[in-house]
Structure 1
Amino acid sequence: MKGILLVNLGSPDSPTPKDVKKYLGEFLMDERVIDIPLIARTALVKGIILKTRPKQSAAAYKKIWWKEGSPLIVISERLQKKIQKQTTMPVALAMRYGSLTIKKGLQELVDKGVTEVLLFPLYPQFAMATTETITVLAEELRQQYFPQISIESVPAFYNKPDYIEVLSNSIKNHLKGIDYEHLLFSYHGVPERHIRKSDITNSHCKIDKSCCVTPSKAHEFCYRHQCLEVTRLVAEKLQLKENSYSTSFQSRLGFDPWLLPYTDRTIERLGKKGIKNMAIVTPAFVSDCLETLEEIAMEGQEIFHEMGGENFTTIPCLNDDQEFVDLLSGWINAWADKKLETV
């Protein structure tokens, strides 16, 4: 019997410093998130970050918390329920971090008689700290607790024509009737070293102006290339004019070089440049969360207004939009019919 496990990032159980600290501890101690030696990672996370950040992050979570709970969890649950209505296979939901664990998700499927699992990381682009950490953990859990099942994973879908169509339609629909001068594509940032570590050629990724547009096998696992490609494909689909859009990266941590340009500084630059009306979309996320609802919609807007900007339009993530539901359901049913390519 076949079953589906949708996996998103995760969330604290509540917007309290205690629960946020627990969540951040699990998240930041992941060797694929902060990829430094364990001793140094422990000293950094437990010795420094967890002593100050939980209180700040809890305050941010409180700003965006819904009555039903964490927006990311609530939206993911809505997505899972809608997909379940469009397939006969059991569909479970899990999070990489937090109490809604991947182990619980696999157990839920196994309890329903599932022996073949389609692991579906809800990330359009591949990254060490997203897709890879999910697939690696799922395989470890399979070997330790569920040796009787098999797991196939959905690869990054950033350049799939039907995904680009759904994303483009969402952007177009949310910008209908809105007069904007610049559309910013903001993606979650990662350290530059993650790009080099993911380079299967060990030579292609230079993180310059040429490597991401030069054909290479490295692009299969290059987060930067995949982000830039989403921007290019959507701009092409929407026939955006040159210089009316750009790409940036948000949510950096620490002092190591992260992907450039930074979103906050880009918003600041656009405001200083005299842009009065801008829109921003966050295609690295499929579900609205702290990074989109607070960091972009609140902090980003504040920066823009401080720099003289006037209208700041935030385009929601695909969330549980019906077109997105139909897209994922179609892929899932195609897998059941052996028509979906997995890795």
Structure 2
Amino acid sequence: MKKGVLLVNLGSPDSPNPKDVKKYLGEFLMDERVIDVPLWARTLLVKGIILNTRPKASAAAYKKIWWDEGSPLIVLSERLQNGIQKEINVPVALAMRYGSMTIKKGLQELVDKGVDEVFLIPLYPQFAMATTETILVLAEEIRKANFPQIKITDLKPFYNNPQYIEVLSNSVARHLKGKDYEHLLFSYHGVPERHIRKSDITKSHCKPSDKENCVCCKTPSPAHEFCYKHQCKEVTRLVGEKLKLEPGTFSTSFQSRLGFDPWLQPYTDRTIERLGKEGIKKMAIVTPAFVSDCLETLEEIAMEGEEIFHEMGGKDFTTVPCLNDDKEFVDLLSNWINDWATSENVTA
């Protein structure tokens, strides 16, 4: 069998034009694993309300961060793809869950090169319904309908892989070297609390509303294999240990909430506001739910987050870039791919 690799990231509009943004948001928000309500309610909410109000504002946000080469997320994902391709001997394709760079096109590109065994890599360290799961489900649907002759193996979430933690920790240390900061905030993309309950294979372990003690996140359980909240908190804990951060000098928060339902807390914007009010003058922030910088990191955090911090009296606001095409990250993924290509046993 000839092997190949398909990297899959979130996606992006084709341009920051409101028309393209509306099309992208429509596909994204109509995904039943993103807004997990009955179809009639999702249609009413997305097509009846959100797509009539949000595209213009979202387009303005995209324009703030758009590069000459195009969408930062797409450009950075392509750089990652190219970096990996230079280090391995099997073809590497790139696809997006939403937008014009479809998973079907990515698989077709590999099939056209004779590939019949694909290593699918969702570019998310943690598992979530709205990220990893929706990619895997759609990829299997596309395989059955269009490429029944190929076999797909996927890379499991690597949030607690020691090699990944080392790469992430090294990146944080390198970008904060010489920086005088009082608090390091680990901000992860938020999800509704009900996603955590739905992903709980034990149906009794996860208690997302336990915001303070998070006993369930600290208590070993099979549920942790699919618990986004636990996996985020583990990344924070493991990086904190690796960097020997003092208790109280770092914390976890969740960003990008949508609608009125309870989402994972504490919220990033309110945490930044609280830190400023408490007298923190210098803070840094890292976003480990993303491997590529995008709207949520470049605009929501680096621009809006800094503005909130300054309004609350803060002075220095430092953002740590995502791993993007960091050489250590490229090497790590390349090593995992080579392990798969030679032995079919990936240890991530």
Q: Which residue of 2 aligns with 1:157?
A: 158
Matches of 1:69 and 1:121 in 2, distance apart?
A: 22
Instruction: Give secondary structure in 1 for the equivalent of 2:264.
Output: coil
Q: Which residue of 1 aligns with 2:3?
A: 2
The change in CA–CA distance for 1:212 and 1:31 in structure 2 (over 3 A counts) is: same
1:197 counterpart letter in structure 2? K
Q: Which residue of 2 aligns with 1:244?
A: 249
**Equivalent residue in structure 2 for 1:294, among 295, 299, 306:** 299
Q: Does 1:226 align with 2:227?
A: no
1:106 counterpart letter in structure 2? L
Q: Which residue of 1 aligns with 2:331?
A: 326
Q: CA deviation at 1:291?
A: 0.1
Q: CA deviation at 1:29?
A: 0.1
Q: Normalization by structure 2: what TM-score?
A: 0.98
Q: CA deviation at 1:341?
A: 3.4
Q: CA deviation at 1:337?
A: 1.5
**Equivalent residue in structure 1 for 2:258, among 246, 253, 259:** 253
Q: Which residue of 1 aligns with 2:26?
A: 25
Matches of 1:270 and 1:77 in 2, distance apart?
A: 36
Alignment of 1:1-343 (within 5 A): 1-207=2-208, 208=210, 209-338=214-343, 340-341=345-346
CA RMSD after TM alignment? 0.9
1:7 counterpart letter in structure 2? V
1:132-168 CA distances to partner (integer Å, 9 max, x unpaired)? 0000000000000000000011110000000000000
Instruction: Give secondary structure in 2 for the equivalent of 1:126.
Output: coil
8 A Cα contact 1:199 1:205, kept in partner: yes
Q: CA deviation at 1:340?
A: 3.1
8 A Cα contact 1:181 1:275, kept in partner: yes
Instruction: Give secondary structure in 2 for the equivalent of 1:243.
Output: coil
Instruction: Give secondary structure in 2 for the equivalent of 1:314.
Output: strand
Instruction: Give secondary structure in 2 for the equivalent of 1:32.
Output: coil
Give structure 2 stretches of 5+ with no counterpart.
none
Q: CA deviation at 1:339?
A: 5.2
Q: CA deviation at 1:342?
A: 7.7
1:269 counterpart letter in structure 2? R
8 A Cα contact 1:285 1:317, kept in partner: yes
Give structure 1 stretches of 5+ with no counterpart.
none
8 A Cα contact 1:267 1:303, kept in partner: yes
